[in-house]
Structure 1
Amino acid sequence: MTIYLHQNDLPDGLNLGAVVAIDTETMGLDPRRDRLCVVQLSAGDGHAHLVQIAKGQTSAPNLTRLLTDPNVVKLFHFGRFDIAAMQKAFGVRTAPVWCTKVAAKLIRTFTDRHGLKYLLNELVGVDVSKAQQTSDWGSVTLTEAQKEYAASDVLYLHKLKDALEAVLIREDRLDLAQRCFDFLPTRAELDLLGWDEPNDLFHH
């Protein structure tokens, strides 16, 4: 495994393939308030690219070109948050997308354990540490532990997608899942506009 650290944007000419795993690290859990600090990406090849986003940065041309490329599927776990965080930072709508958390909730109705750590352990056989989840991602210099944590959130998403997709197909829910994925960018935009809990449009 190699972890590549980039400042402010992806390098020119980097090709991460037709399905790119993406995650974000922010200063908190409210994308309207808490700034984007790191975007991590993987082609599913065992390597990860980490992009540090500077405070006040509003442009990352190579990254946003990837986020909006209609020929590249952006693969997330809980994409609703990551999509909102990147839209707030850069003003772009990420699409098309695929979300392992949505997929898990559609087919794993026998459990309420849909966290990435649990799913990777059960379906991929990988145990990842969440120790750095609440560390200071706005620091100018990331620690080796932070880099490894950020990378672990994207390195195995392709394998997790394959495992979940097989069950979606088996249970005749792949089409339903795809329609949910297609709605995620709109759901993220609603969150940014204030229509999240307790003002969720879909609540009674």
Structure 2
Amino acid sequence: MSSLLIGVAERPLEGQPVSGDAYVAIEDAASSLICVIDGLGHGPEAARASQAAVTYIRGHAADEIEATMRALDDQLRSTRGAAVTIVRVDHVKSELQYCGVGNVTLRAFFRKPAYPVNVAGIVGKRPRRYLTTRHRMEVDDTFVVYTDGISSRWESESAPNGTPQAIASDLMARHGKAHDDLTCVVARMTNGTSPRFGRP
């Protein structure tokens, strides 16, 4: 059975005490859950929205991801709201399940092409719809989930090299925007039955 190896790079907007971005990474024997959240705006109020999402997701990690997204819309109603992407990798089926609202993006470097699509809207402000897609994953397939603190200029680049942590750190160094919070999570499917989820 496979597992995930991940790397993470994150920082707040310069001059802000906290980041409005956040992420969750949870793995059990059969699946891995990754969620990246971008609270609307910057500073403490954006962080309040993203941390409310983190708290809910940690308590409902086993739920279907679209059900989690719909519930988050209620949970964030009293906040500014957030862009949210939720990914579950099923290690039994070798399948990535994806649901995204707003401008937290996933870019996949898979043997079989995969182009997950986000729907427009803000979680907490009643998005018009939700969409869950499924994509085949194989060992060594890699994906990057990132907030708009990473410039879209990197999307013209070919598949990055190195460990997930090296890729995440490099993207932050070369393409991080000085005027925004930033979170970048890189995950690679690996062989092995023992969990290897976490920063290398």
TM-score (norm 1): 0.28
Bigger strand share: 2
Q: Which has the higher contact order (CA 8 A, sep 6+)?
A: 2
Give the alignment's TM-score, normalised by structure 2.
0.28
Structure (1 or 2) with the greater helix fraction:
1
